[in-house]
Amino acid sequence: MDEQATPIKPSGLTKRQEHALAAVTGVTVANAYYIHPIVSEVAQDFGVNAATIGLVPALNQIALALGIFLLLPLGDRYGNRTLCVIFGFCQAAALGIMALAQQFWLFLAASTVLGFFTIAPYLLPAYASKRVGPERLGHVTATLTAGIIFGILIARVGAGAIAEYLDWRLVYVIATVLIVGTTMALPFLMEPRRPASTPAADMTSYPALLGSIFPLLARHREVLLSGLIQSLNFGIFLSVWLGLALHLTSADMGYGTDVVGYLAGIAALSIYVTPRLGRWSDRIGPRKARFRLACVQLAGVLLLWPLGHSLALLLAPIVLMNAVGPSIDVTSRMTFLGLDPAIRTRLMTAFIVMMFVGGGIASWAGTAIYAVAGWSGIAVLAAALSLCVVLLSRRAMRLGR
């Protein structure tokens, strides 16, 4: 095994290292979200409709789920630093192709490859969880999640403004430069692989490593429930924001892509709130916290339809959803990140695969439903998903007693 299977002294991360890893996570994960505010402009440039352009985020998320299943378990066998560097440069190549593609199929293919190699943000939480004590697990997990939120924020606000006033292709040129720079910095931010305490473990075959995920899930079934909750939660996020991009830039609303990006700036609230909710979750327990957060999110989602035709009024449900949605993810991860360090990466694999399969399906469903039923269809889809999150979170809270 690599350093993730080797006992590591807790509290091995300084505050500066935590923030640096959060920044790396943000830059890496941002690559999947540049498309959100500019989806209508990219569709217009390539001459495709709403349902077809929805394949870009959908296949990106599904490819990410496949990449996580095939690549993330390697984090229990090889050094995370080496894996993150390799995957980072693969992302850079895909982004470069997206910036230059003149045919939609090539842009779609490159976006799909990009998703397949977006693994670093999901290696890093398991990496960090071995280097802090259990009393700081919620806070550190929330800090890395805040990095994801910040990356998504910058991606969506920046992409919207750049596409409106310059060229949407410049978005992907800048993204390529950022990921190259971040990848080159990783060797200075992460520890190298440590000698394995059990050398024979490194001889485990790759198929056996993948196959070992299923027996682990049989022993830790709550991971499946947490993964299902997060797949629905992530589906709400993607379907609503893709729907907003199409809704706000429609003839009825008449806004530009920059406004879509600026609206995404509300996610800055999550950067402040999520670490605090992480500490709160440490105190009351992740299952109870998740249920309460899910109820707040449902209240916000139910406001999407009645307030959906006023940009000012839409701020209310969007603020509520952005305040608690990321913390539902954090609390779901907390239910299993305290387990045996040797299996955390593989448990994270199952959790993230479920999350992105759900997100991919919801991405396409959201754009397809919008093409048929407009904003009201998006609101109904989000409400159904949110209600399921509440019910499943309630069940998980009861089972966890």
CB of 79 within 8 A of CB of 130?
Answer: no
Q: How much is the pTM?
A: 0.75
Q: What is the pLDDT of residue 4?
A: 42
**Digit-coded pLDDT (tens) for 118-161:** 888 878 776 776 666 666 666 777 778 778 877 887 888 888 88
**Digit-coded pLDDT (tens) for 215-238:** 888 888 888 899 999 999 999 988
CB neighbour class for 127 (10 Å; exposed up to 12, middle 13-18, buried from 19): buried
CA–CA gap between residue 93 and residue 313 (Å, rounded): 41
Burial 259-292 (b: 16+ CB within 10 A, else e): bbbbbbebbebbbebbbebbebbbeeebbbbbbb
Q: What is the pLDDT of residue 111?
A: 95
Residue 7, pLDDT > 60, answer no
CA–CA gap between residue 328 and residue 326 (Å, rounded): 5
Confidence of residue 193 (pLDDT cuts 50, 70, 90): low
Q: Tell me which fold the domain 15-190+212-399 belongs to.
A: Growth Hormone; Chain: A; (1.20.1250)
Q: What is the residue-averaged pLDDT of the chain? A: 83
Closest CA to 28 of 185, 163, 138: 185
Q: What is the pLDDT of residue 56?
A: 92
Domain assignments of the chain as residue spans, ordered by start: 15-190+212-399
Of residues 28 and 4, more confidence is placed in 28
CA–CA gap between residue 216 and residue 31 (Å, rounded): 31
234 token code pair: 């992530």
Residue 286, pLDDT > 50, answer yes
Residue 115, pLDDT > 90, answer yes
Residue 199, pLDDT > 60, answer no
CB neighbour class for 102 (10 Å; exposed up to 12, middle 13-18, buried from 19): exposed
Residue 23, pLDDT > 50, answer yes
R_g of the chain computed on alpha carbons: 20
Confidence of residue 10 (pLDDT cuts 50, 70, 90): very low
